Structure formats: structure tokens, C-alpha cells
Amino acid sequence: MKRNSIMLRNLLLVNCFIFFTSIIQAQGQNLMIVNDATGFPDSTVVIDVEIQNEVPYLSFQFEMLLPEGFSYVMNSVSIYPPNPDIHLIANVLPGSQTLRVMGISLNPPVSDWVTVSFTLNTPSYTGTFPLNLLSAIFSTIDGLVNAGIIN
């Protein structure tokens, strides 16, 4: 009898685990992907951040630490494919090398995969520079969701 009770309890735990895991997987995940920057000295380089979403969102925000010698070109942020319903704001936080980019949809949630692009001035030397997202957040109908980051 005790053995059946233990088996029943273990079976119940396994079923609960499978149930909750399937709920988490059904929610999907939103990703932001950025690659390293390679540029010529004293030039500009266009950086693309791919947004792959499984869950429709109302807004997004990400922060990126700019490598030494790089600077953001004001008003250079854009989105592809063009979407007049998504308004973009980008700026370097005061006293830092952290670029913050925000996108806000004024209409229904965005379900398309998009690419956010912006331009950076390069330093006076050539090279390949790692670009890393510090944070990535989506605002959905259900609340805030941390995005998966692929640097």
C-alpha cells in the first residue's frame, strides 16, 4: 500500500511538471539579436538588432553598451519593414556609453519580426568590436517580459 502511494505521488509530480512546462513553452519567447561591429577608422557603421517575437508586444526597450570610441549618430534609428505605427526613440544615457532604444506601438500589438537599425561613428582605428545588449524588455498585454538576448 505504501509503495502504491509513493508511485502515485511520483506520477502526480511528473504530470504536474509536464503540465507546467507545456504552459511555459506555449507562451513562446521574444528574442533580440545583435552581431559585432566591424568598421573602418573615423567612419560610420550601421548596426542591426533583430527582434524575433513569438508573443505580440506593445513596446520594447533595449540598452547597449557602446564600445570605447564609438558614438551614436543622432536621429539615425529606423525600423524595417517600415511600420508607421511604431514610434522609435534612441539616445545615449547622460554621462555614459549606454545607448537606450525604445519602440512604442500606438495601435494593436506588433506580431511581425522586425529589424531596428541605427548608425554609430567608429573610432580612429579599425577592428571588430563586440556589441552586447545589457537588457531587453517587451511590454505585452499581459505585462513586462524579459527578452532572450543573443549577442
**pLDDT tens digits, 71-102:** 999 999 999 998 888 999 999 999 999 999 99
Mean pLDDT score of the chain: 83
90 contacts 72 by C-beta, under 8 angstroms? yes
Rounded distance between C-alpha atoms, residue 31 and residue 5, angstroms: 43
Count how many Cα atoms sit within 13 Å of the Cα of residue 125 in the half-sphere of its side chain.
6
pLDDT of res. 1: 54
Would the pTM count as exceeding 0.75? yes
User: Cell 539616445 appears where?
Assistant: 91
Q: How many helices (H) and strands (E) does the chain have?
A: 1, 13
60 contacts 51 by C-beta, under 8 angstroms? yes
Q: How far apart are the first and last CA of the chain?
A: 54
Task: Considering only residues 23 and 114, tell me which one the structure prediction assigns the higher pLDDT.
Answer: 114
**Radius of gyration over alpha carbons of the chain, in Å?**
21
